[in-house]
Structure 1
């Protein structure tokens, strides 16, 4: 199996990982996997339910565990925004695929997101979106094989940019 056979999308909540992932998978003839849905399927709970029942650390542990066991081939994998906190998960994802960071400004993320708690965004108590953004960006950049600046681009343009990058 080609170890870089998959494309792994990382980035802030609201960056469009799932939306871009579905369209990109269609364009490239890949499968699509949303790791947040795998977490929900395995636990039988919604992300925000896991966070409220087990706390942020408990959720991050579940996320790290599930993502470090993903087996996929010829697949676009959309991850949750907090996947980068899981060292084992990120090492595994980098082994099985090319990691692409969908980069947007904090202002654009803020504009796109609704209720952070309802979306299951992994925020510490009292943490602002700006603080979360500042904390995560260095981690996204650390793990990314490819960084795609998505500001002001439509889904079609992002998918076109990525398709061109991954075309054989």
Structure 2
């Protein structure tokens, strides 16, 4: 039985926030994959992107995520994790993958400066382009989808717990 939970979704959907609360409620450890990347590379995400380029960053992200092997953990991933096939195959094997889904209009309201967040945007690419490119990947890898439109963090956590139980066939 997969005893980890992986949160995927666009930047700004609350993967880290929801992840910390889920970990507390479930008695799991919390792992922020972006922080693991920064720790292992000894650089901020935006510095890794500036130094290695987007493709180089995606390779680093893929390598680090495919090496994660915790027990009873909530893993919050970076929004670009879905570009790493090996990482996603590994995470799908060790965890229930939860896609925190948010529509583009609400996402734009939540996000500030994308570059400061270390968001992987190619030259000339807009948030709309990124959204349209990633959503099919999130949907492909998701075991469970939690739509966050018009709900707050507490409701997102509650729905996530319910959907995970449903997915695992628990009452």
Q: TM-score, normalised by structure 2?
A: 0.95
Structure 1: distance between partners of 2:100 and 2:162: 15
Please report how far the alpha carbon of residue 110 of structure 1 lies from its aligned counterpart in structure 2 after TM superposition: 1.1
Measured in 2, the distance between the counterparts of 1:162 and 1:111 equals 22
Indicate which of 155, 158, 162 corresponds to 2:156.
Answer: 158
Q: Which residue in 2 is equivalent to 1:66?
A: 64
Residue 136 of structure 2 is matched in structure 1 by: 138
Unaligned runs of 5+ in 1: none
Corresponding residue SS for 1:141: helix
Verify the 8 A CA contact 2:4 2:74 in the aligned structure 1. Answer: yes
Counterparts of 2:154 and 2:146 in 1: how far apart (Å)? 14
1:83 matched to 2:63: no
Segments of 4+ in structure 1 off by > 4 A?
Answer: none
Query: Which residue number in structure 2 is paired with residue 29 of structure 1?
Result: 27
Give the equivalent residue in structure 1 for 2:110.
Answer: 112
2:4 matches 1:6 = yes
Q: Which runs of 5+ in 2 are unaligned?
A: none
Supply the RMSD in Å over aligned alpha carbons: 0.9
* Counterpart-to-counterpart distance in 1, 2:25 and 2:71: 16
> Would you say the 8 A contact 2:144–2:164 is kept in 1?
no
Q: How many angstroms does 1:152 deviate by? A: 1.1
Distance 1:123 1:163 in 2: 31
Between the aligned partners of 1:140 and 1:63, the Cα distance in structure 2 is: 16
